[in-house]
Structure 1
Amino acid sequence: MMTRLDIDYSNGQAIEVRRNEARMVGIHGIGGIGKTTLVKLIYNQLCPLFEGCSYLGNIREILKTESLEHLQSQLVSDLLKQEPIGLGSLEEGIYYIKHRFRSMRVLIVLDDVDERNHLKAFAGKLSWFGSRSRIIVTTRNADLLNIPDVVVTYEVEPMEIDQSIRLFSLHAFGGSSPNKGYDDLSRDIVSTTRGLPLAIEVLGSFLYRKTKEIWRATLHELKKETVDSVQQVLMTSYESLDQGTKDIFLDIACYFIGKDKRIPFYMWEDCGFYPCTGIESLLLTSLVKIGENNELLMYDLLRDLGREIVSKEDPANHGRRSRLWNHEEACDTLRSKKGTKRVQAIRLKFANGSNNCFTREEFQRLSKMRFLKLDKANIRGDFTNLLSNLRWLDWQGCPTTFEAVNLHLKKLAILDLSWSKVTQDWEGWSQIKMPRLKVLNLTGCNEMLITPNFSGYPLLEMLILEGCFQLVKIDPSICHLRSLVSLNLKSCSNLSMLPPDIGKMEALQELLMDGTSIQEIPVSIARMKKLKTISASNCYSLTYLPKSIGYIDALSMLLLDNVKIPELPNSIGSLMKLKRLSLRDCRGIQKLPESIGKLGCSLLELDISGTLISELPDSMKNLRLLRVLKMERCHVRQFPSAIGRLRKLEEIHASRCRSLEGSIPSNIWNLQVLKTLILGYSGVSSLPSSIQSLSRLRTLDLLPCDKLEMLPMLPSSLTCLRVSSKKMSIIPDIQNLVELEVLSFGNENPKELTVPPAAIDARSTWTKQQSLWPVRFPKLKSLELFHSKIINLGFEYGSACVPQLKKVALTGTNLQGVSGLPSSLSVLSFQACLSLKSLPSVHNLIYLSELELLNSAVQVIKGLGGLTSLEILVISNCWIEHLDGLSKLRSLKRLSLRNCNSLNNLPDVSDLTMLKVLEIHRCRLIHDIEGLEGLTSLEELHVSKCKAKRSSRVRQAQERIRRRLRTSP
């Protein structure tokens, strides 16, 4: 039985980041159910905890056009935080991954895997990665996860009707429930979506502000038995678009998922598709998303819908369709000369060494083509009067020799030569006529030492040179590109100098030079009056900022992470439009200039984390619009007394500020919009009582703050509370935190604790037994307690409350009793509970998938046989005497018993037909294991330091496993 994983349970607890062993977790479910959304959220939350991270998304679709070696290279690049390396073969990639990351703690997401050999190419064995590594795999095929290394699998199931109504209402009404008079109609419409979040979101967006007549007509269409309701939902939304927006939607579905949205805009504008209003319509109808990096995103089901629409234009003849994205179909159309003027776009993607040359005859009939992708292809011959409507030529991996003649692309707006071996002497620069070129992409052109002369492209607006590692010089002609808006020099690691006259590019709005060797920014930069973004993170040679930077009137973002500058110029205070300033890990900076207070009308985010700054200037009080203040790992000794004047602050991140001591100022109560306060690993000794008035505070992290002696009453708005302190002498009264979803609370060798008078109620159990610590939080999902003076723990939910608790992890040498465990639990862990001899009966925990007992005095597990969903049972260093009910755990996949010397024997395991891993170590009284011969799913059997190791049953079972592994593909 698979574990149910609700979509709103997305805090990353499922993968148990604190476990020492490497783990692989599988998540499966139908298309559109929300698997990718879920793992992206988990990935973003957990990334900071790992040495290396890689998210390989949309693998099934990418492998239609890319090789496994390409994705292996991306995985290696991500984990090492360096540029991609060349992997000559699949086997070479496997060998490299297997041996390079054995001692490295990594987080890897493999999203949308549909073949087992694809999984083996990236993470064939957990032994390839260091301890505490985590690999998360999503797939539509649950059988793919049936391998030994996947310790637990989760099924993302359709949304319940109440959840569906809330999501639908958010998009249809802009609230959490239907408007008056729409309750029944909303419920009827939502019932047709099969609980798919995508269909609910699209349908709600489509019906937003529509009349009831349209609602009823839509419901009528959706209820037709002959129609797939989900497909009809998506199709209805598509049909409501105007023609230009439909074209944009189909272009994205066929070609541009993951592309920077700015680039296709140039083509769409030139073709009269009105992309500004078109993209807005697609966003409003939830047919397209825009990612964090401005990239176009689309759900798989919507992508498939778009491609199906194009395929139905002429099912029998590829050459009469508007778009050809499949390589074989596109190649066949060209080779057979069956293309027609209906073809607007073609994508060809060859491998090295293929027969990949085309001549003018194969393009002769394609007079309306506006997009052409020719990866690793060549064109030869006279192209006079051909491709006259082409707006975008994507020619990645183009040949070094140019064989076309008269290639006059008069309407071309975008030329992409990424990952090609072109140099400044490439013949194409002079042979291709592109007077209207707006975008030139030379990403990864590693043979290029000097850029080409740009004088032939006077209208150029975007120039991308990212990852040109060998580039040492930019041709001075770049300074005459008076229309250039964006210049991307990221990771040009050998580039040490910008042209001195760069300031002549007065239209430039974005200058990206992260990871270069640039030593200084030219003084002429002050002439760039429209420049909005300077990003120079990881420019290790940059040691100086010119004072003239303060004269860039439009500058709104200045990112200088990990730069060697010793100080900011005082002129920084003149940047009256600066919204974001990041100095993260600028270890040479010891103070901020007083002039920073002049940014009070603009600055929204300030990051001084990892600097040597020990005191914030008094002028900080003037930053009245500041929303985010990050000062992690810096030397700040105390919060400025005027912090209460920063009334717009929403987030304060001050973790690991070990010099930060004393009290938080009482005027923090002025920060009425504060949502996040993170002070972990600091010397903060007290919080003011006024913190209770922060009615929007959601996250308070004080884990650990070992000088903290007590907590005041906290605001009831908190959803996440993490706190621990060696000095905390009073158990905090937190029973008012009814919104709590995550609670982590504990201490280390604390002084005697007492119960605060406010917590004592004559009607409560406190009067009967003061050592009982009650848990009554109705929305709590995760609870971690590691407090040595909590003697008894009781879960006290009222009859009207439906517990949401999924995970409970308890650690405490003095914990003696636990009562009332809710049936909603999926993970239950006890560690170092040396006084806990008996667990409450667990027979009611029907959703429990994982039970862990470590270093505890537990002797018996009552109701073990009732854990029908249990997949993992781990018992180590416990006084457990017997495991009655073990044979009933039909869902069990992993059983691990270590150092259980009171355990006399195991019940017959023959009924544990799902068991994949069985480990028994130092359990000296176990003589044999009955029923092994019936475990056909068993893939790992480890028995050591106990008498059962010599059992004939064990030896025969191990031999059967070895034979099976040798013969498996």
Structure 2
Amino acid sequence: MAPSSSATETWNYDVFLSFRGEDTREGFTGFLYDALVRHGFVTFIDEQLRRGDSISDQLIGVIEQSRASIVVFSENYASSGWCLDELAKIMEWKKEKKQKVWPVFYRVDPSEVRHQRGRTGEHLLKHAARLGEDSERVRGWRIALSGLANLSGWHYKQGVESRFIQQVVEEVSSKLNRPRMSIANNPVRIDDFLESIKPVLGIEQDDETRMIGIYGIGGIGKSTVAIALYNEYADSFQGSSFLANVKETSKLPGGLVQVQENLLFEILGDRSLKLFNADFGISVINHRLRYKRVLIVIDDVDHRDQLRKLAGDIGWFGCGSRIVITTRDRHLLEAHGIKHSYEMKELNYLQSYQLFCLNAFREPNPPELFGELTSHILDYAKNLPLALIVLGSFLFGKTPKEWESAIARLKSVPNREYNEILKISYDGLDDFDQAIFLDIACFFNGESVDYVMKILDACKFFPDIGIRVLTDKSLVSVDNNNKLWMHDLLREMGREVVRKESPNNPGERSRLWFPDDAIDVLTENLGTNKVEAIKLVLPETEEVYLNAKAFKRMKRLRLLIIHNVHVSGDFDYLSNNLRWIEWESYPMSSLPPNFHPQNLVGLYLFNSRIKHLGEGYKVFKDLRHMNLEKSECLTEIPDFSALPNLESLVLDYCTSLVELHDSVGLLDKLITLNLGYCFHLRKLPRILKLKSLRFLLLTRCRSLEKFPEVLEDMELLQELRLDKTPLSELPPSVAGLTGLEVFYVSGCKKLKGLPAGIYKLKQLKELHLQNCLQLGQFSNIGREDCLPLISAEPELPALQSLILRNCKLPNLDFFRSLDCISALKELNLSCNNFNELPPWISRLSNLQKLDLSYCRKLKEIPNLPQSIETLIAIDCESLESFPQLSSMIQCSQKLLPALKSINLTNCHNLAQNLGISAANVLLNEGNPPFSLIWPGDEIPEWFKYRTRAGFFFFQIPEHLYDKLYGFALCAVVKEAFSLQLSLAMNGQEAARASDDLFPMDSHHLWLIYLECPIVKPLNGWCYFEFSLEVAYPHGSSIEEYVESAGVFLELKEDGRLNWTVEGSSLSCTHFEEVMYYEDM
């Protein structure tokens, strides 16, 4: 049996482009190809074929070696038999090998392709006349065209092609750049498993939501199959999430909430979404995912409460979703009402033989000398995949004599217990690797690799090599989130090794991780010289009080991690052998006077009562990481000259800290210095000479009035945060921070300017000057060392975001040159005093977002660049004119082709001058999805379908759906809140839009236009559900904020939208066929 293709599949190309050269080669397809290549995708376009090659044969090979295909279906695509042959092969390969295929209907209606009408139908009739209607090629082309038209893709009608191409590439990137999850070493029978589990999954039955259970004993391969299944099908769903090691994660404080947040992030992409508790998480999952067709794998479940809070019911998820659960407990699946399950059986002998050989020899059969030895190993190793993989990896590269020794060990294992079989691999490790293995087994399963590496390196275990050895021997794995995992059978084996050091006396063991054991040892003073490491992390609700004397006999203690444990007494008993300390709520005012751990590397005393460090710290010559976060009693940082290796110093929220010794400014290995929220900090080192520093954070240091000189160029500094400090000026030497990318000085209300050399910061991407109130006097400053904000020099080439909110600027004259901000994408000028914008703003060719809110003197918005996507002008009460919009009304020209959103809350003068027709034009000409907030209290008459419940349901026949161009929705809103619109089609989420509505002095209209997504009709009908919801405040009803809402359906035969009552199609008899339900 060959290894699974799921594990070994490779491609020569990321994307294959299929297109009609005459139509789009020199335009759309050429630009799409360039964009894909710029994003790093190896893309095939037929110009790469060498002359004289057998094109058709080679093309078939290229399609088979491509991860995905994009079919650019243009007007004359179907005129080419060559193109149709390509398409037929692409659709065949999609069916057989699950190749990803995306159609781009380029100025062609998808329904024309689906029903083979129009030009597409004409081309096919010509082919049929030439080849015969019943010819195999023509039949295959017709099937392929229908299949293509039913795929999710893009419909380009008009607009800025570059923006449309950007959307296509972003979507392709989200699919192709999703990393495949790593799978077990050399898996076998994965394809067999995937094939046999297909009936249980029922992927083809996309009108049904299923939960599927995969159960079996530990180590049998449940997670491996789940990963393979996830890799195989994830891209076929609207969203996907693999929740690994749920059993272990849920044991941690707040663990299930963390899993819920990961689930929502992986599917929705919103990292800012935070859950208050697991019950709130249930509500959010149910609310946000109920219209999404998702694939979710919940791996290693051992308690029904985990299922209740992650997948309580199939109704939580959109139609066609699949929720896969792996567990050892079949009864748990039954108790949760899961009707579809799959039992993982043991491997048969041939499968075990192959799996072992692939790990032991890296090939499916053993060399001649090892044939009989292999048979002996299999006699004792059982048919458990984990044991076969671990033993095979252990024996790889060993001599026959070493094999014989391993077989002798296996013979001695009583009843062939798994622990003892797995331990043979552990016994083969050297001392350092054994120590790493046991530390991971006892303390660090599921932790970040970077964090674990720091601790193991501090302990001198050489983890760079050791982690690699354990990975190669299949004893640990690293997931896509860079977390370290050990299979629970291996972890239990490692912990058993430690238990056997002293079965009845935990104080005689090298490691204490089990809370009851650690508490017994520390409360009863049972610790001995054998104890090397302790981790005691208790929930916040459970606190234990101990006496420091318990550490007296632990002279070899190297690692101490304590959370939510109160310790009193004499701390002189702490071991001087300690290399890493994490002690939350450390109770003493200083470090013990007789505490001299010369090899200490990490000192984490967050939320401590420490006031000063004492004198003992001076022997910490190896210290690299110091974290005293939230130590509110700490008043000073003394001379750190004795800490030459310090790399990170974290002191945020040390609210009593007053000064840092000058020596801190000379620590040339320091990478991170975090002093945020040190409210009483008055003094920094006089000179900064930190050549390795990358992050300097001084947010809300509200007593800091002077920033020190930068004596030497600090070229590695990437982020400098001085926001909400009382600084009035910055030294000219700040210009030496040539690597700076992010610079925050927001809320510096006394700051009058930036140094003249600011234009030298060629890497600067973000400059935040919000609430710098003295900048309004900027143009009057004549000092030579302080120039206007933007220099006349053509510099700042990387600047993309400039925030000048509430700087009381009377004008924008200080912008002396446009070249210096030519890359600008976001410009925030809100809450300022100017009454006009300079005309050069139209030449900011990359500007996408412009915020003019609360500029109450502003009278006119000049012409904006064609790149603009979002315009926000809330409470611009003097605003009367927007000539560009007036021209759009008069000329019906799309002058702002990229426009997606306009917010004109409380802009009554502008709305009155332009009239409601302006809103109509914007809705018509905006780049969908387009949203508009406009003063008004009446829904225009052409919005035929009305509701006060915030819910619409339509049932539309297929022939009418083919003519459907898009949807417009209008809602009358009356208060500030966050509004969200969801559109579900055939039970699956098709679109979502939202807006934050700010305080209004009267009723407003929220208008939004959505193009009709491409979906496959169900039994001749398409089902549409619109729902308006309050995203914030949580738990509010829509009736509290929305008075009424209406929907308009736009038909293609009417051309583009005609937003007049007389010209609308609402009286068209077509709509008599629409079944509309206001209240379901």
TM-score (norm 2): 0.46
**What is the distance in 2 between the residues matched to 1:611 and 1:847?**
46
Match in the other structure for 1:791: 860
The Cα of 1:601 is off from its aligned counterpart by 2.8
**What is the distance in 2 between the residues matched to 1:791 and 1:145?**
54
The Cα of 1:670 is off from its aligned counterpart by 1.3
**What is the distance in 2 between the residues matched to 1:704 and 1:648?**
28
Match in the other structure for 2:281: 123
Query: What are the residue-to-residue correspondences of 1:304-453 with 2, within 5 Å?
Result: 347=489, 371=490, 373=492, 390-393=493-496, 412-413=497-498, 431=504, 438-443=510-515, 448=520, 450-451=522-523
1:440-469 per-residue CA deviation (whole Å, 9 max, x = no partner) reads 3135879658346565562x4432122275
**What is the distance in 2 between the residues matched to 1:465 and 1:550?**
28
Please tell me the residue identity of whatever aligns with 2:1027. Answer: K
Matched residues, percent identical? 13
Match in the other structure for 2:587: 517
Change in 2 beyond 3 A, CA 1:698/1:905: closer
Q: Does 1:666 align with 2:732?
A: yes
**What is the distance in 2 between the residues matched to 1:141 and 1:790?**
52
Change in 2 beyond 3 A, CA 1:567/1:446: same
The Cα of 1:852 is off from its aligned counterpart by 4.0
Q: Does 1:277 align with 2:468?
A: yes
Query: What are the residue-to-residue correspondences of 1:267-666 with 2, within 5 Å?
Result: 275-278=466-469, 288=479, 291=482, 295-296=483-484, 347=489, 371=490, 373=492, 390-393=493-496, 412-413=497-498, 431=504, 438-443=510-515, 448=520, 450-451=522-523, 458=530, 460-467=531-538, 469-473=542-546, 476=549, 478-492=551-565, 494-497=566-569, 499-502=571-574, 504-506=575-577, 508-525=578-595, 527-539=596-608, 541-568=609-636, 570-597=638-665, 599-613=666-680, 615-617=682-684, 619-640=686-707, 642-643=709-710, 645=712, 647-648=714-715, 650-661=717-728, 663-666=729-732
Match in the other structure for 2:804: 723
The Cα of 1:637 is off from its aligned counterpart by 4.7
The Cα of 1:567 is off from its aligned counterpart by 2.5
Query: What are the residue-to-residue correspondences of 1:175-214 with 2, within 5 Å?
Result: none
SS in structure 1 at match of 2:796: coil
SS in structure 2 at match of 1:549: helix
- Out of 852, 866, 881, the position equivalent to 1:816 is 881
1:745-789 per-residue CA deviation (whole Å, 9 max, x = no partner) reads 12325044574xxxxxxxxxx4xxxxx7326444x6655443453
**What is the distance in 1 between the residues matched to 2:678 and 2:600?**
26
The Cα of 1:691 is off from its aligned counterpart by 0.9
Match in the other structure for 2:828: 745
Q: Does 1:712 align with 2:790?
A: yes
1:168-192 per-residue CA deviation (whole Å, 9 max, x = no partner) reads xxxxxxxxxxxxxxxxxxxxxxxxx
Change in 2 beyond 3 A, CA 1:287/1:904: closer
**What is the distance in 2 between the residues matched to 1:871 and 1:563?**
55
**What is the distance in 1 between the residues matched to 2:994 and 2:681?**
52
The Cα of 1:671 is off from its aligned counterpart by 1.2
The answer on whether the counterparts of 2:842 and 2:865 sit within 8 Å (CA) in structure 1 is yes
Match in the other structure for 2:744: 678
Please tell me the residue identity of whatever aligns with 2:800. Answer: T
How many residues of Structure 1 are paired with residues of Structure 2 in the alignment? 619
The answer on whether the counterparts of 1:841 and 1:863 sit within 8 Å (CA) in structure 2 is no
The Cα of 1:692 is off from its aligned counterpart by 1.0
The Cα of 1:487 is off from its aligned counterpart by 0.9
Please tell me the residue identity of whatever aligns with 2:811. Answer: I
Please tell me the residue identity of whatever aligns with 2:742. Answer: T
RMSD: 6.4
Q: Which has the larger radius of gyration?
A: 2
Please tell me the residue identity of whatever aligns with 1:917. Answer: L
1:710-750 per-residue CA deviation (whole Å, 9 max, x = no partner) reads 53136111233222234213336474366757514123250
**What is the distance in 1 between the residues matched to 2:984 and 2:543?**
64
Change in 2 beyond 3 A, CA 1:110/1:138: farther
TM-score (norm 1): 0.51
- Out of 255, 258, 262, the position equivalent to 2:446 is 258
Please tell me the residue identity of whatever aligns with 2:830. Answer: N
**What is the distance in 2 between the residues matched to 1:552 and 1:776?**
54
Please tell me the residue identity of whatever aligns with 1:659. Answer: P
The answer on whether the counterparts of 2:689 and 2:714 sit within 8 Å (CA) in structure 1 is no
**What is the distance in 2 between the residues matched to 1:145 and 1:808?**
42
**What is the distance in 2 between the residues matched to 1:59 and 1:551?**
46
The answer on whether the counterparts of 2:691 and 2:713 sit within 8 Å (CA) in structure 1 is yes
**What is the distance in 1 between the residues matched to 2:805 and 2:940?**
31
Query: What are the residue-to-residue correspondences of 1:85-96 with 2, within 5 Å?
Result: none
Change in 2 beyond 3 A, CA 1:64/1:146: closer
Match in the other structure for 2:329: none
**What is the distance in 1 between the residues matched to 2:901 and 2:1007?**
26
The answer on whether the counterparts of 1:680 and 1:703 sit within 8 Å (CA) in structure 2 is yes
The answer on whether the counterparts of 1:888 and 1:912 sit within 8 Å (CA) in structure 2 is yes
Match in the other structure for 1:916: 1027
1:508-531 per-residue CA deviation (whole Å, 9 max, x = no partner) reads 211111234344421122x21110
The answer on whether the counterparts of 2:805 and 2:832 sit within 8 Å (CA) in structure 1 is no
The Cα of 1:704 is off from its aligned counterpart by 2.7
Query: What are the residue-to-residue correspondences of 1:874-953 with 2, within 5 Å?
Result: 876=973, 913-917=1024-1028
The answer on whether the counterparts of 1:871 and 1:892 sit within 8 Å (CA) in structure 2 is no
The Cα of 1:536 is off from its aligned counterpart by 0.9
Q: Which residues of structure 2 form unaligned runs of 5+?
A: 1-151, 155-166, 175-226, 269-276, 298-309, 322-389, 398-421, 427-432, 779-788, 886-893, 946-962, 976-982, 1013-1020, 1030-1037, 1050-1074
Match in the other structure for 1:833: 907
The Cα of 1:877 is off from its aligned counterpart by 6.1
1:794-831 per-residue CA deviation (whole Å, 9 max, x = no partner) reads 4534xxxxx6x765544344273356676566655443
Query: Would you tell me which structure has more helix in proportion to its own residues?
Result: 2
Q: Which residues of structure 1 form unaligned runs of 5+?
A: 11-28, 41-56, 80-106, 155-237, 298-322, 326-345, 348-370, 374-389, 394-411, 416-427, 756-765, 767-771, 798-802, 879-885, 932-955, 962-969
Please tell me the residue identity of whatever aligns with 2:744. Answer: I
Please tell me the residue identity of whatever aligns with 2:672. Answer: E
The Cα of 1:701 is off from its aligned counterpart by 1.3
Query: What are the residue-to-residue correspondences of 1:10-29 with 2, within 5 Å?
Result: none
**What is the distance in 1 between the residues matched to 2:938 and 2:862?**
16
Match in the other structure for 2:192: none
**What is the distance in 2 between the residues matched to 1:602 and 1:648?**
14
**What is the distance in 2 between the residues matched to 1:670 and 1:135?**
53
The answer on whether the counterparts of 2:506 and 2:521 sit within 8 Å (CA) in structure 1 is no
The answer on whether the counterparts of 1:556 and 1:578 sit within 8 Å (CA) in structure 2 is yes
1:870-917 per-residue CA deviation (whole Å, 9 max, x = no partner) reads 797655469xxxxxxx9999967789999987999999x999922123
1:533-588 per-residue CA deviation (whole Å, 9 max, x = no partner) reads 1111111x333421221232112222112213342353433322222222212222
Change in 2 beyond 3 A, CA 1:72/1:564: closer
Q: Does 1:736 align with 2:819?
A: yes
The answer on whether the counterparts of 1:697 and 1:715 sit within 8 Å (CA) in structure 2 is yes
SS in structure 2 at match of 1:573: coil
